[in-house]
Every structure is written in structure tokens, then in C-alpha cells.
């Protein structure tokens, strides 16, 4: 389900409800993206709203390892990591009951996950916020 553009994305520890930004400690999220510049942009967006990236990955293997070893509530997934479908990572996130948002430059073709929030590159921080909120409330 495509998300339309408009504010920022909240990531919080498992079991917590999304709250507007307040003075608070950083909270964990993950970013699985093979483009280093986009990973840095996502980290900046998260930092802008008071959150940190608990895990990053540029390949399927790194993303699967991070999914097994890192605690986070929400993942941002590039649908294609170095030419490979991210579906094994999406499967692992579903098994752990972790919400996720696809970020892609084209139709991701992951029909089993067509109901998951999807952002088309390039995107605005407001659209990222809406998709993240949707992923957290719908998984």
C-alpha cells in the first residue's frame, strides 16, 4: 500500500506506543539498504526526531543476522539488496512480529507483502513518518 508524502518516523522499543517527540533517550530502529547514501539519509532523518539506528545492513546476510541479534520494533527495507530480493528478511521480521516499511525505486514485486507500507524513492520525511506509523499499527 503506497504512502503519500508528509513529517517523520518514530521507532520505539517493543511494546511501547508511538508518542509525539519529547525530550527522551534515543530509541532503536533498523535500516536495511544497500545504498550507503540512502542509509545515511535515513539515519539523519531518525536522528532529527530523536531516534538512533540499532542495526544497519547492506546485504541479505547482514540483514538476517541483524534481525536475529538486534532488538528493534520497526525496519526499513530496500526491496532489493545488491540484486537479491529482500523477501527472506521480510519473512524473518514477520516471524519476530516486527513491523516494516519497504523503500524502493520501483515496484518491489513482493506480492506476499503487498499489504505492507511502501515508499517510492525519493521520498519526503513526512511520508516516511506516515508509513512507519502504519507499519507499527498494522503488524
Residue range 26-85, pLDDT digits in tens? 556 788 888 888 889 888 886 775 567 889 999 999 999 999 999 998 898 998 888 898
Q: Which of 67, 129, 69, 125 has the alpha carbon at shortest distance from 98?
A: 67
Domain ranges in the chain?
A: 30-138
Q: How far apart are the first and last CA of the chain?
A: 13
Could you tell me the pTM of the whole model?
0.75
- What local confidence, expressed as pLDDT, does residue 35 receive? 85
**DSSP E strand boundaries for 79-127:** 80-81, 84-85, 99-104, 118-120
- CA 81/CA 84 separation, integer angstroms: 5
CATH class of 30-138: alpha beta
Asked if residue 130 lies in contact with residue 101, where contact means CB atoms within 8 angstroms, the answer is: no
Amino acid at each position: 500500500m503506497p504512502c503519500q508524502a508528509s513529517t517523520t518516523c518514530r521507532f520505539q522499543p517493543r511494546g511501547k506506543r508511538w508518542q509525539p517527540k519529547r525530550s527522551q533517550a534515543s530509541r532503536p530502529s533498523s535500516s536495511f539498504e544497500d545504498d550507503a547514501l540512502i542509509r545515511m539519509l535515513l539515519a539523519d532523518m531518525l536522528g532529527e526526531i530523536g531516534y538512533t539506528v540499532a542495526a544497519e545492513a547492506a546485504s541479505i546476510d547482514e540483514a538476517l543476522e541483524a534481525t536475529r541479534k538486534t532488538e528493534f520494533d520497526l525496519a526499513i527495507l530496500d526491496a532489493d539488496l545488491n540484486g537479491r530480493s529482500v523477501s527472506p528478511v521480510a519473512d524473518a521480521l514477520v516471524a519476530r512480529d516486527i513491523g516494516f516499511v519497504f523503500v524502493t525505486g520501483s515496484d518491489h514485486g513482493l506480492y506476499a507483502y503487498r499489504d505492507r507500507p511502501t515508499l517510492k524513492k525519493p521520498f519526503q520525511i513526512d511520508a516516511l513518518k506516515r508509513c512507519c506509523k502504519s507499519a507499527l499499527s498494522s503488524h
